[in-house]
Amino acid sequence: MINDILFISFFSIDDEAGCDNTFTKSPGIVNSPNYPSNYPSGVDCGTLIVAPSGQIVRLTILDFQLEPDFNADCSSNWDTLSIYDADAIDEEALIGVFCGNTINGYFESTGSRMYIVFKSDGTVTRRGYQASFVFQDGKKYCVLQLTILKIKP
Ligand SMILES: [Ca+2]
């Protein structure tokens, strides 16, 4: 019991240092720090999800409550969730930036990696987000296998 309390306290204090993550096993859950309690201010968390070669990442949003932005495109950059079809921040591979409580239900990578960045600014926090992910066989590869049967007369 005492160990449990010490463990929780350590991670509460050390949120920012501990919020980067890499996941390589499916299925999995990814969420904002402290979820379902409010996320802290001033975090910048990068989450990398790596599927095996030939598979893609399918991310399903289960809950999404971030600070609302009066710009629909979240351009105030208060609290945002950015999803990349890549293994790092890459603006050319940006799937979308989301804030408030508006987000699509699910996202898929085209390759084997997805990178998610959760950021919060200095004021106003919400419950945050939770999403699940699974690895699936890539849709872009189609293997046509021909079997030739030799039929005896
Ligand atoms: Ca905020």
Distance 95 CA to ligand 1 centre (A): 22
The stretch 34-63 carries a mean pLDDT of 97
**What is the predicted pLDDT for the residue at 138?**
83
Average pLDDT over residues 14-21: 65
**pLDDT reported for residue 136:** 96
What is the average per-residue pLDDT within 126-153?
A: 79
What separation in Å is there between the alpha carbon of 147 and the centre of ligand 1?
A: 59
Domains within the chain, CATH numbers bracketed? 21-136 (2.60.120.290)
Q: Which residue blocks in the chain are alpha helix, DSSP H?
A: 2-13
**What's the pLDDT band for 16 if we cut at 50, 70, 90?**
very low
For ligand 1, a single-atom ion, the residues with CB < 5 A are 67, 78-79, 120-121, 124
| Residues near 77 by beta carbon (within 8 Å), at least 6 away in sequence | 119, 121
Task: Give residue 41's Cα distance to chain centre.
Answer: 19
| Length of the chain, in residues | 153
Q: pLDDT by residue (tens digit) across 23-37?
A: 999 999 999 999 999
Quote the CA–CA distance of 85 and 74 in Å, as a whole number.
19
Question: What is the rounded CA–CA span in Å between residue 82 and residue 97?
Answer: 4
The closest alpha carbon to 101, from 72, 122, 123, 75, belongs to 72
* pTM (predicted TM-score): 0.80
User: What is the per-residue pLDDT for 10?
Assistant: 41
Buried b (16+ CB within 10 A) or exposed e, 21-32: eebeebebebbb
